[in-house]
Structure 1
Amino acid sequence: MAKKLIIALGVAAITFTATACNTVKGLGRDIESVGEAGDRAI
């Protein structure tokens, strides 16, 4: 029982970590595109 709980928590932690990485990458792309748009406008 405890072993299954530990495995489930580990899988959940890996899933949340992977999701956070993708979110940070997307945020970086958004910021970069805003900067490029500002450069083109100037």
Structure 2
Amino acid sequence: MKNIIALALVALAVSGCNTISGMGRDVQKVGQVITGAGGK
């Protein structure tokens, strides 16, 4: 059971690199929109 959980976490970490990178760009874009809206 522990092996399955460890394998799932490793697979998630490896496959999630691109997802996390994309999410970071999305969050950055939202921050830019909020900052722009506050300046008007």
Q: Same fold (TM over 0.5)?
A: yes
Structure 1 consecutive aligned stretches of length 4 or more whose deviation exceeds 2 Å: none
| Cα distance in 1, alignment partners of residues 16 and 22 from structure 2 | 10
1:12 is matched with which residue?
Answer: 23
Q: What number of residue pairs does the alignment pair up?
A: 28
Percent of pairs with identical residues: 4
| Cα distance in 2, alignment partners of residues 10 and 18 from structure 1 | 13
Task: Spell out the pairing of 1:15-30 with structure 2 (5 A cutoff).
Answer: 15-29=26-40
The TM-score with structure 2 as length reference comes to 0.65
| Cα distance in 2, alignment partners of residues 10 and 23 from structure 1 | 20
Tell me, which stretches of 5 or more residues in structure 1 are unaligned? 30-42
| Cα distance in 2, alignment partners of residues 20 and 6 from structure 1 | 21
Q: Calculate the aligned-residue CA RMSD, in Å.
A: 0.7
